[in-house]
Amino acid sequence: MVPAAALLLVSLGIYLRPRSQTSGTAAQNVTASAIVSDAAIAGLNDDDLLQEIAQQSPALQEQYADNLRRVNQYIQDAKTIVADDPNDDEARLSLMEAYQEKAMLFELALDRSLQ
């Protein structure tokens, strides 16, 4: 899962960096929905995460599910703001941080599964 999370961040970084360098160009018109496909390409699968937790630490499944729901909402909201104003540098940074939070969730889950 960690490689998948890392891949997600790399692909997101590749996506966001050119956008910040090409402000004012047609690239801005690419909607944040493209980022969703980055997540899919990276193979991040919420169900896999919850299954892993259910097997390794059933008592924590609810906590992870709750945090997963919250971080997915964070990503959705951040994407909405980027889509509303592609020139908003802070919004793009916020989206990056939202994905980092999700990557951390997977990282912590994997740490548990290795114990």
Partner 1 sequence: MSGRTIQVAAISAVLAGTMMSESLLAQTHKEYRFNVGPRAAVSVNNPYGSVSVKPSTGNVVVINAVLSSDKVEVDNALAGNRVEVQSHLLPGADAQSGRVDYEILAPADASITLHSSTGTLHAEKLHGDVSLEGAAATVDVRDITNAHVHVKTLNGAVTLTNVEDGHIEVDSLSGNVMLRNVNGPLVQVVSTSGGISYIGDFGDHGDYRFTSHSGDIDAVVPDSTSADVSARSVRGEVHDDIPLQPKQHTSFVIKEGIAFRGTIGRAAISSSVLLRSFSGKIHLRKRAAE
Interacting residue ranges for partner 1, rule: CB under 8 A: 59-60, 63-64, 66-67, 70-71, 73-74, 77-78, 81, 85, 88-90, 94, 97-98, 100-101, 104-105, 107-108, 111-112, 115
Cα separation, 10 vs 42, whole angstroms: 9
CB nearer partner 1, residue 15 or residue 99? 99
Closest CA relative to residue 35, chosen from 62, 8, 58, 55: 8
Smallest separation (angstroms) from partner 1 to the CB of 83:
13
CB nearer partner 1, residue 41 or residue 78? 78
Rounded to the nearest 5 degrees, what angle is found at the Cα of 114, between the Cα atoms of 97 and 99?
A: 10
The dihedral built from the CA positions of residue 32, 71, 5 and 62, taken in this order, carries a sign that is negative
CB nearer partner 1, residue 17 or residue 70? 70
